[in-house]
Structure 1
Amino acid sequence: TDSNLNASLLGNSDTNWQKEIYQTAIGAIHNLTVSKGYENFNYRATLNHTSQQGVLTGDLYERNALNLSFVQRLLNDDLKLTLTTKGILDDNKFANKGAIGAAVAFDPTQSVYNSDGSYFQYLGENLAPVNPVFTLAKDNNRARNKRNITNFNIDYRFWFLKDLTFNLNAGVDYSELSGKQYSPANPNNSGSFNYKNFYQGLNRNTLLDFYFNYKKAVASINTNVDVTAGHSYQEFFIRSDRQETETASSFVDRDPIINRNSLESYFARASFDIADKYLVSLSYRRDGSSRFGPDNRWSNFPGVSVGWKLSNETFLQDSFFSNLKLRAGWGKTGQQEIGQNYGYLGVCTPGREDASVQMGDVFVTTLRPEEFDQNLKWEETSQYNLALDFGFFNNRLTGTIDGYYRETDDLLATVPTAAGSNLSDLLTTNVGSIQSKGLELSLNGVLAKSDTFNWELAVNATLQKNKITKLSLGNDPNFFIAQGGISGGVGNKIQLWKAGLDPSTFYVFRQVYDADGNPIEGAYVDVNGDNQITEADKQAYKKATPDVYAGLT
């Protein structure tokens, strides 16, 4: 026993608190489908109901969904119209997961309820855990999401030129979220208050794309031609609103958060299969993103590839190769997923009402200017590859050897900035270039095959090497950018980007070991010899990405 323990605080019960908060999760799925087909028209309707409890008492998810599909053929089957729509109603009741930790920490000698039927609590003990059964019973956190996904497709084959088709696809993904949360005041803390939170959200994703496709076998030159050209536009819109309890006597309406971004593309592709031996493919995209300023919004992404089916040549017709194909390609791709939509604009974010500034008799809400880079632009990657595909024993053994070389320029990243150089200590910008090269190997074999049994084995391996070739934010050869945040919200970084190093390189202190080779807790090498362990003693050390990795399935 410990003399500092107060035995009078112990109860007389034997409560399994985890048993009190957990339940056997029961779920059910019900489906009803109706379909009918006619000569030129068919439809299908599916009704679904899903119910699933969580393992925490009170946790519940329910879904009701209706799927409808209609297909109509017209003009001697040259025109096909397809409409699909899916309506979804999701209802969630969220149990407070804080009850899990409270159940582990709560005194098992206490009962769930007092003799008067109220919940047992450590009244007056501000740091004491709250009765987890009380938490689950009194918290009320519910959300409803109404969603509709609709697509309409037109597929038309021109009557005067059967090799030419037109395809149009229009779609919308629309959802509305509404939720409410109520958490009672902490009974152990007299300074706490009942918390209410009402929130709403709207998410809309619209798409419109169309293309023409010309596909023809030109017998006179023994060539199959496939040409496509089209346009695509996609827009994303998100809005969220919230009203919540700020103090025991105030309920505030927070400013809405609105985000919008769009993508537009013009694209073309032409491929030629000559004599089932020689393959040529050309492609071009011109993409525009609203996430970049007018001068950098658009970028071009061409590509070309060639292939040679060696196994179809007469000099290899009777060889042991079932398939032998040599191919090579080059292409450019772009990346604009930077997590923000207005990084090139000087925008301001309104402050909270409780952070207002008093100007005489008036309280003025602040406007906080956000960081921006007006020269923000597309991250672009150029890739070259050379590959050999092969097959033996009637393709029961197949494989690929593929070598690649990749260069990424204008790398997009969120990085620290020098004090006073921008409106924040972090900025999303283009920071440099990365080079990657490697060799990918794969081998697939059918070990056994019959009408009732199939056994396949696949092996793959990749050899790779990556390095940062340039950082555009500093000319100092020792310049680096801290990366790799440590989980847990500590704000520290454990990796670095530096020219000449792999982008996953760690940046750490060098551990000190005792005579037996065991690490000494908290002891690190004083690299610069100043008798202090500071950030200046950190070193680049190893990396997270392997040089070689392999798989077996």
Structure 2
Amino acid sequence: MKVIRGLMAAAVCGLFMSNPLQAQGRGSISGRVVDSTSQLPMQSVTVTIEGTQRGAITRIDGGFLLVDVPAGTSRLRVTRIGYTPQVKDVSIAAGQVANVRFVMQAVAANLGAVVVTGYGSQRKEAVTGSVATINADEANVGVVANPTQLLAARAPGVNVTLNSGEPGAGAQIRIRGGTSISASNDPLYVIDGVPLQNNESEARGFGIGGSPALGRNPLNAINPSDIASLTVLKDAAATAIYGSRGANGVVLIETKKGRAGAASMEYETYAAFGQAANTLGFLSGDQYRSFVTAQSTNTANTAGQRASLVTLLAGLGTANTDWEKETRRTALTQNHNVSFAGGNQTTTFRASLNYSDQQGVVISNGFKRLQARLNGNHEALNGKLRIGLNLSSTRIENNYLPFENTGGFEGGVFQNVAVFNPTRPIYVTDPTTQQQTFYEIGTGRQSVRNPVALAIQTLDDGSTLRTLANVTSSYSIFPSLIAQLNVGTDRSNGQRNIYLPRAGAVGSEFNGLAQQAQRGLSNQTLQTLLTWSPTVGNEIDFDIVGGYEYTDFDNTDFSAQSRNFTTDAFGYNNLGAGSLPQPPSSYQEQSRLVSFFSRANVGYKNKYFLTGVLRRDGSSRFGDANKWAVFPAISGSWLISDESFAKGLPFSQLKLRAGYGLQGNQAVGPYQSLPILAPDGGARYVFGNTVFTGIVPTVNANPNLKWEQSSQSNVAFDYGLMDGKLSGSLEYYIKNTTDLLLTVPVSQTGASFVATQLQNIGAISNKGLEFSLDARLYERANRGLNLTTGIVFSVERNNVKNLGAATFIETAGVSGQGQTGVNAQRIIPGKTIGTFFGWEFAGLNATGNQTFTKYTVTRDAAGNETSRVANGVTTTPSADDKVIIGNANPTFSLGLRSNLNWHGFDASWLWRAEQGRDVFNNTALVYATKSNVTQGKNFLTTALGTTESIAEPAIFSSRWIENGSFVRLQNITAGYSFKLPGSGRPVRAYVSGDNLLLFTPYSGYDPEVFIDAGLASRGIDYLSYPRARTFTTGFRVQF
């Protein structure tokens, strides 16, 4: 602070002392600044004389005047947000006026020149943290529904997994792996400076089999065509400025803005068709009849089994229904985007309108979006005052399919595709009315159901209206001191309406069921910033930003249901028509986050850079003693290639970066530190003649609950070779997370009314290596040919350090008949999260039974295992026979992208790969079991190739752990750009394909699988929605 006060005092003294020197060898500088593209004058450009506090701001004509400048040579720097800074040396003669002209180039022409870093931006060479920038226009190819899809395979250390193949599916984004078992591992998304809520905006549906399907992606409300760039902040040095919300990384989304110049219009449209990329293959009707016939006479089966199969055979139908095929379709997608942009030197704008309609490759579901966006900026007071508006309003319409994130027989469409008898038809004709109705075997949720009927009859519609808005203002107190204000809101209102008709297999259990649910999410943000960028000297760059941020969260939910309807005519629109209304449910969650933060950047000789960050957060979600926490970070970089001793090295650029910082994670539900009470029908009491439902504790209070905290170290080299034709980075990081939030058992004494409590226990370590390479392989301007390619490579390892008193935590519940209480994974100290734990499959014996490796285990007096020796095989394994049988984490992840341009033609392709990962094929465990036939159910054709007995039950073991490595051709696009004859308007036409090739040994639909439990349970295939292979054609025209 003494240094800062001294600098300010010196600047003030310099101003007062300047008057007596005016006539002693001084002159003036007159200049003009223009845009490189339009050649129009640029207003509000900051002009400073390096090494002094002198400066000016350009007028509406782009001109500026600096008077009383000492004779000699002065270095002028001109800067404006969105443009590359320019520097020129100007010679001034005593008593004369020197003229100078600056031509500024927009950053969009060189996205690598300026990097958005959170509450500001930096020149790329001055960045000290781990930051990756993605050009959205380059990534936005094929059918892209939301911003998360733009991140896939384009930034090292960023893993994107869609939770299914349905339109608008949610996604799991992991930046440098996950660090929390109970809290969220999702990154923070910030759009135009406003942090977003990433919660589901629509309520979960009705669980046909007890487990509702996963929600859609809440970021579907953001049109990818409106995005200019995405910046991923990865290490603590880069994310510490976001404090407790940045523990899992930060994704900064900048939308497109208008520019000064003639108004322009752009229209882009595409149409696509897609089909399921893979099939599993279940027995056909003929195969099923043949199998039942053979088994009914197989003497290896018991007399009772043979008699049962004879009865089943007599009742089989004559159809050959491929239920997998009958529930699929060719899915059509259309997308239309129109934008208007323009302005002058004081006011710019960009407005856009988007309509998108995407069908699913499974019948009766889809996704629609209608969005309007307006971005505007205005400058006043000779450019000192700048006001900005970013406003978008989006309506999402979702048609949901009844499917579930589980296996088993009593599920949604996919479960019934797997087991519904293939000898049965889709429809039957009533002999009296001659009307067709769906064929059904039974009724109710516990029955097997016609999957086509289930998809068509179930009405499950969702809609969301989401508004994102923020108003920004900045005022240049003087050229080096800028005050900013940002007020933003993120508000969504979602509705979910469901009706199960009276005649449907599921609805008949309730004589019709209607449900309505509403969910509201509100996030209000206030930010105030003060940025000081003084000119300390010719060789020193310095800026400091200080700020205050207040965020208010207010989320509500309401759900009502009714049953027993006399007609289906009302659908879900008249709950009162049902005679059996169910108790409604509702809640409101409120929380607040208050933050104070500061960041200082110092550069010396454009070679040495240092950044320090300090943020103090206060959250209402934690206990009274732990509501506040401080998150510091420090990082630095050294441009080695600019040193004299490095001149002989082959690097055109070589920079060393290193950083360390602390991060927090406040992503837990509100009120977790407080005792939570709820009504309980089992706790009733009589008051007078009335019976009242009692209120009982459901969550124990924990006044000591606090943040999960991560410390992260990062060291990296940024490099360039062959005059920048080869460039990239190599990074290594260590991230240690302590005070994990875990629910642990507690004794029900004193203030503990419930058997569990959320506590801060345990620790996890993440380590990783990241590598990127961008290469300009071929550049021949005279031939119009350019070829570039990029590689991103990541290795991540996690290790559980401790779990408090627990020796392990069971997770990843196995789904399916006979699997109740079975878990596929354990979280074990010393091992990775995602460790599969179970019995080792040793093959089938002569009688068709599964055998497993048996172990002899020795323990000490305390019960700890001291030795383990394999001791033959067994058909009845015990708990002691369970061992580690797999790892869901990949050995490495890889992305490869290329771009080719030749005259007007362009082509690009993107490959993704993960190697060394295991996947638990829960689908095969449940549906490759021949014993299904004894219940009249179907199974996978792969089971025909085994000698397994039809009496053998499904048992979880290493038999169902498969190699989930894959190489995927994610996208290939080819286009041609030309000008319309006569008008000269630029047009680009293109064709594109998504998910064209997949190379994998995995036998399921797709090795990229995702489940609701997140980090605690990964790599499990629960028979999810199949991914599509999509072909797209479109064009873009500018007016």
For Structure 1 versus Structure 2, the TM-score category normalised by the shorter chain is 0.7 to 0.9
1:344 partner SS: coil
What is the aligned partner in structure 1 of residue 429 from structure 2?
113
Q: Does 1:357 align with 2:684?
A: yes
Contact 1:415 1:482 in 2 (8 A): no
Q: Give the 3 Å change call, closer, same or farther, for CA 328–14 of structure 1 in structure 2.
A: closer
Which of residues 627, 635, 658 in structure 2 aligns to 1:328? 658
1:148 aligns with 2:148: no
Matched, 1:29 2:357: no
- Out of 694, 701, 704, the position equivalent to 1:375 is 704
Say which is worse superposed, 340-349 or 444-453, in terms of deviation: 444-453
Q: CA deviation at 1:457?
A: 4.9
Distance between the aligned counterparts of 1:180 and 1:262, measured in 2? 31
Shift of 1:37: 2.1
Equivalence for 1:67: 373
- Which residue pairs with 1:201 in the alignment? 519
Distance in 2, matches of 1:31 and 1:552, equals 29
Compared CA separation, residues 426 and 533, structure 1 to 2 (3 A): farther
Residue 270 (structure 1) aligned to one of 566, 577, 600:
600
- What pairs up with 1:306-321 in 2 under 5 angstroms? 306-317=636-647, 319-321=649-651
Q: Could you tell which deviates more after superposition, 502-511 or 281-290?
A: 502-511
Task: Please name the residue that 2:813 is paired with.
Answer: 486
Alignment match, 1:393 = 722
Check conservation: 2:532, 2:544, Cα contact below 8 A: yes
Tell me how far 1:75 sits from its aligned partner.
0.8
Cα gap change, 1:390 to 1:36, in 2 (>3 Å): closer
For residues 418-462 of structure 1, what are the alpha-carbon distances to aligned partners after superposition, in whole Å with 9 as ceiling and x for unaligned? Answer: 554754454432112334455555555443333422233536464
| Greater displacement, 193-202 / 507-516 | 507-516
Map 1:57-96 → 2, pairs under 5 A: 57-96=363-402
Higher relative CO (Cα under 8 Å, sequence separation at least 6) belongs to 2
Alpha carbons of 1:362 and 1:123: their partners in 2 closer, same or farther (altered >3 Å)? farther
Whole-angstrom distance in 2 between the partners of 1:459 and 1:255: 47
Q: Quick one: which amino acid aligns to residue 476 of structure 2? A: R
Tell me the equivalent position of 1:456.
789
Structure 2 CA distance for aligned equivalents of residues 331 and 439 of structure 1: 18
Give the match's secondary structure for 2:386: strand
Letter in 2 for 1:183: L
Is the Cα contact below 8 Å between 1:264 and 1:287 reproduced in 2? yes
Q: Structure 2: how far apart are the matches of 1:184 and 1:468? A: 49
Amino acid at match of 1:274: Y
| Contact 1:334 1:379 (8 Å CA) reproduced | yes
The equivalent position to 1:293 in structure 2, one of 600, 623, 628, is: 623
Given the superposition, is the C-alpha separation of residues 52 and 446 from structure 1 closer, same or farther in structure 2, using an over 3 Å criterion? closer
- Give the secondary-structure state (helix, strand or coil) at the position aligned to 1:295: helix
Q: 1:15 to 1:443 in 2, by over 3 A?
A: closer
Which structure shows the higher strand fraction?
A: 1
The match for 2:586 among 256, 262, 266 is: 256
Deviation at 1:145, TM superposition (A): 1.8
Q: Which amino acid in the other structure matches residue 454 of structure 1? A: L
2:480 paired with 1:163: yes
- TM-score of the two chains, using structure 1 as the length reference: 0.83
Matches of 1:388 and 1:187 in 2, distance apart?
A: 63
**Cα displacement string for residues 395-418 of structure 1 (whole angstroms, at most 9, x for unaligned residues):** 333454444443322122x34415
* Counterparts of 1:18 and 1:539, CA distance in 2: 36
Comparing 302-311 and 272-281, the one that deviates more: 302-311
SS in structure 2 of the partner of residue 119 of structure 1: strand
Q: 1:123 to 1:429 in 2, by over 3 A?
A: closer
> Are the structure 2 counterparts of residues 162 and 266 from structure 1 closer, same or farther at C-alpha, using a change threshold of 3 Å?
same
Deviation at 1:205, TM superposition (A): 1.5
**Distance change >3 Å, CA 155–CA 488, structure 1 → 2:** farther
Aligned to 1:345: 674
How does the TM-score come out when normalised to structure 2?
A: 0.47
AA matched with 2:714 = N
Is the contact between residue 836 and residue 887 of structure 2 (CA under 8 Å) also seen in structure 1? yes
Distance of 1:20 and 1:408 partners within structure 2: 49
Deviation larger for 248-257 or 502-511: 502-511
State the alpha-carbon separation in 2 of the partners of residues 541 and 136 from structure 1.
37
Say whether the 8 Å CA contact 1:16–1:108 is kept in structure 2.
Answer: no
Aligned partners of 2:534 and 2:428: how far apart in 1? 77
Relative to structure 1, the CA distance from residue 64 to residue 509 in structure 2 (aligned partners, 3 Å threshold; closer, same or farther) is closer
CA distance in structure 2 between the aligned counterparts of 1:466 and 1:110, rounded to whole angstroms: 49
Question: C-alpha displacement at 1:123, in angstroms?
Answer: 7.7
Which residue pairs with 2:559 in the alignment? Answer: 242
Residue 407 in structure 1 maps to residue 736 in structure 2: yes
> 2:384, 2:476 within 8 Å by CA — same for their partners in 1?
yes
Q: What CA distance in whole angstroms lies between the structure 2 residues aligned with 1:469 and 1:522?
A: 30
User: What do residues 81-107 of structure 1 show as CA deviations (whole Å, max 9, x unaligned)?
Assistant: 111221222233435454555566254
Structure 1 residue 298: deviation in Å?
0.9
Distance in 1, matches of 2:722 and 2:800, equals 44
**Contact kept? 1:482, 1:494, Cα under 8 Å:** no
Cα distance in 2, alignment partners of residues 133 and 386 from structure 1: 55
SS in 2 for 1:342: coil
Report the CA distance shift for 1:246/1:348 in structure 2 as closer, same or farther (over 3 A): farther
The question of whether the paired residues in 2 share the 8 Å contact of 1:119 and 1:134 is answered with no
AA paired with 1:310?
A: I
Structure-2 change in CA distance of 1:384 and 1:35 (3 Å): closer
Secondary structure (helix, strand or coil) at the match of 1:453 reads: strand
Match of 2:626, SS?
Answer: coil
Summarize the Cα distance change of 1:114–1:56 in structure 2 as closer, same or farther, 3 Å threshold: farther
1-structure distance, mates of 2:771, 2:369: 44
For 2:659, what is the secondary structure of its paired residue?
strand
- Once the two structures are superposed, the pairs formed by residues 510-525 of structure 1 within 5 Å of their partners are 521-525=851-855
Structure 2 gaps, min length 5: 1-292, 297-309, 404-411, 565-577, 864-873, 897-1039
Q: What letter corresponds to residue 609 of structure 2 in structure 1? A: L
Once the two structures are TM-superposed, the CA of residue 163 in structure 1 deviates from its matched residue by: 0.9
User: Of 31, 51, 59, which residue of structure 1 is paired with 2:357?
Assistant: 51
CA distance in 2, matches of 1:450, 1:40: 39
Paired residues of 2:457 and 2:504 also in contact (CA < 8 A): no
Residue 279 of structure 1 pairs with residue 609 of structure 2: yes
What does residue 174 of structure 1 align with? Answer: 491
Residues 32, 253 of structure 1: alpha-carbon distance in 2 compared, 3 angstrom cutoff = farther
In structure 2, distance between residues paired with 1:510 and 1:21: 36
Instruction: Determine the C-alpha separation between the residues in 2 that align with 1:291 and 1:365.
Output: 29
Aligned residues: 537
The CA RMSD measured in Å over matched residues stands at: 3.8
Q: Is the 8 A contact 1:384 1:404 kept in 2?
A: yes
Q: Which amino acid aligns with 2:469?
A: T
- Are the equivalent residues in 2 in contact too, given 1:87–1:149 (CA < 8 A)? yes
Counterpart residue type for residue 411 of structure 1: L
Q: How far did 1:285 drift?
A: 0.8
Does the Cα contact within 8 Å between 1:286 and 1:298 map onto a contact in 2? yes
1:99-154 deviations in whole A, cap 9, x for unaligned?
55556625445644324115254587777645555545543332322221111111
Give, in whole Å, the separation in 2 of the partners of 1:256 and 1:92. 22
Q: Which moved further from structure 2: 283-292 or 249-258?
A: 249-258
For residues 317 and 406 of structure 1, the distance between their equivalents in structure 2, rounded to whole angstroms, comes to 35
Q: State the distance in 1 between where 2:560 and 2:330 align.
A: 35
Amino acid at match of 2:430: N
The question of whether the paired residues in 2 share the 8 Å contact of 1:510 and 1:525 is answered with no
Aligned equivalents of 1:187 and 1:543: distance in 2?
Answer: 42
